[in-house]
């Protein structure tokens, strides 16, 4: 029996879904690196984007998004490149965005959400670790452990407060 359904199988022997079948708001697959301060899980490593850095290359952000997100705190993260595993994307984020060669990470925790009037769909892989000091990297104007209890929702860019909410719902 042949079905009319178009499953999201991406194999060479199965025709790809047509681009018109993608939700109007798009579909993103991303890895997030959530590093907390050792012994204080409410302090999360976040940064303020350096608008001069090549965020299109570092994290799949076009210049309009960089300008819009530049004032708020963001989690180190990136969309996956074609053929890249979520684990490899997290390692790339550590290296390219944070300048960290070695960092123990747990995960991934996997979440999916659809939001907005255009029904944008996100598939999110969260990798969690901890460290004593924030790193520094030219991709950011500032990297710091942000106290989530003292940080308001408007201070966090790119809906990353939703990512953090997933993490807090999951934690026992």
Q: Identify which of 73, 75, 28, 78 has the alpha carbon closest to the alpha carbon of residue 55.
A: 78
Q: Identify which of 74, 107, 72 has the alpha carbon closest to the alpha carbon of residue 89.
A: 107
Asked if 78 and 139 count as a contact pair (C-beta separation under 8 A), the reply is no
DSSP-assigned letters across all residues of 29-85: EEEEEEEEETTEEEEEEEEEE-TTS-HHHHHS--HHHHHHHTTSBB-SEEEPPTT--
Q: How far is CA 84 from CA 80, 87, 139, in A?
A: 6, 8, 22
**pLDDT tens for each residue of 63-113:** 888 888 878 999 999 999 888 999 999 999 999 999 999 999 999 999 988
**pLDDT tens for each residue of 23-64:** 677 788 899 999 999 999 999 999 999 999 999 899 988 888
Question: pTM to 2 decimals?
Answer: 0.86
> Has residue 11 got a pLDDT over 70?
no
Task: Using pLDDT thresholds of 50, 70 and 90, give the confidence band for residue 168.
Answer: low
Asked if 77 and 59 count as a contact pair (C-beta separation under 8 A), the reply is yes
> Has residue 18 got a pLDDT over 80?
no
Provide the pLDDT for residue 130: 96
DSSP 120: E
Task: Using pLDDT thresholds of 50, 70 and 90, give the confidence band for residue 172.
Answer: very low
88-111 burial, b at 16+ Cβ within 10 Å, e below that, comes to ebbbbbbebbbebeebebebbbeb
Provide the pLDDT for residue 12: 59
- For the segment 153-160, the average pLDDT, to the nearest whole number, is 80
- Helices and strands in the chain: count of H runs, count of E runs: 5, 6
> Has residue 171 got a pLDDT over 60?
no
CATH topology for 24-170 is: Nucleoside Triphosphate Pyrophosphohydrolase (3.90.79)
CB count in 10 Å sphere of residue 119: 12
**pLDDT tens for each residue of 112-150:** 888 878 887 889 999 999 999 999 999 999 999 999 889
Provide the pLDDT for residue 122: 87
Q: How far is CA 130 from CA 29, 40, 45, in A?
A: 24, 9, 9
């Amino acid at each position: 029996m042949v079905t009319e359904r178009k499953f999201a199988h991406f194999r060479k022997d199965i025709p790809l879904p047509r681009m018109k079948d993608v939700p109007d708001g798009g579909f993103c697959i991303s890895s997030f690196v959530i590093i907390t301060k050792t012994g204080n899980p409410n302090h999360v490593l976040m940064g303020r984007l350096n608008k001069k850095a090549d965020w299109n290359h570092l994290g799949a952000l076009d210049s309009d998004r960089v300008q819009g997100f530049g004032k708020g705190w963001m989690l180190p993260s990136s969309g996956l490149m074609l053929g890249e595993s979520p684990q490899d994307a997290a390692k790339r984020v550590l290296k390219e965005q944070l300048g960290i060669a070695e960092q123990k990470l747990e995960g991934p925790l996997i979440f999916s959400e659809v939001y907005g009037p255009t029904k944008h769909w996100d598939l999110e892989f969260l990798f969690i670790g901890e460290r004593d000091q924030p790193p520094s990297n030219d991709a950011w104007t500032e990297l710091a452990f942000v106290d989530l209890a003292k940080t308001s929702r408007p201070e966090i860019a790119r809906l990353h407060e939703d990512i953090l909410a997933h993490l807090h719902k999951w934690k026992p």
